[in-house]
Amino acid sequence: MKTIFGSALAMLLTMVFSLTRSSAEETQLAEMRLYPPTTIEWKAGPAALPPSARMAVLEGDPTKEGPFVVRFQFPEGYHVPPHTHPKTERVTVISGALYLATGEALDRGSAKKLPAGSFGYWPAGMKHSAWSEGETVIQLHGVGPWQINYVNPADDPRNAKKSL
């Protein structure tokens, strides 16, 4: 009897365990996102960036609290005037090249070139500007909300829209 009871219990436990495991796996699968390049959905960039950028949100929501991953695609010569962010900025260059210059006035001579494959981060409040060489894709990751504040308010495309 003991043996039969014991093996019945073992079977039951095995069933319960495998059910639990498969529902955990289902939850994990439901939360998984894979983005081969052709499946990335590009949309118009945010109003806070100069026009002609495109943007793809890969994880989270950069307008909200919490972790996010987004990509920006810039055409050749795209330029983001001197600005700051309220949180650390973390940039991976996926393709093309990004030039980064620090300081509150644009100084192209002091810029660092970040070719495809580069990663960099800089602290909240650091004044910097950036521009692309060739069509360029960068990936930002960090903790939202993502915001950009231009050193010169006239550079802010959101102000340009208001005055139209």
Q: Which stretch binds Cu ion (CB under 5 A): 28-36, 58-66, 70-78, 88-96?
A: 88-96
CA atoms within 13 A on the CB side of 148: 24
| 23 to 9, 13, 100: CA distances (angstroms) | 21, 15, 47
| Pairing of β 149-150 and β 54-59 | unpaired
In whole angstroms, the minimum distance from the beta carbon of 83 to Cu ion comes to 6
In whole angstroms, the minimum distance from the beta carbon of 85 to Cu ion comes to 6
C-beta separation of 139 from 92 below 8 A: yes
Q: Which stretch binds Cu ion (CB under 5 A): 2-10, 17-25, 81-89, 95-103?
A: 81-89
Q: Which is nearer to Cu ion, 89 or 156 (CB)?
A: 89
C-beta separation of 106 from 150 below 8 A: no
Q: Which is nearer to Cu ion, 6 or 51 (CB)?
A: 51
Q: Which is nearer to Cu ion, 1 or 133 (CB)?
A: 133
In whole angstroms, the minimum distance from the beta carbon of 33 to Cu ion comes to 25
In whole angstroms, the minimum distance from the beta carbon of 104 to Cu ion comes to 13
**Whole-number Å distance between alpha carbons of 36 and 33:** 10
90's tokens: 């973390």
Size of interface with Cu ion, in residues (CB under 5 A): 1
Query: Which residue of the chain is nearest Cu ion when measured via CB?
Result: 89
Beta bridge partners, 4, equal none
Q: Which is nearer to Cu ion, 23 or 88 (CB)?
A: 88
Interface contacts to Cu ion, rule CB under 5 A? 89
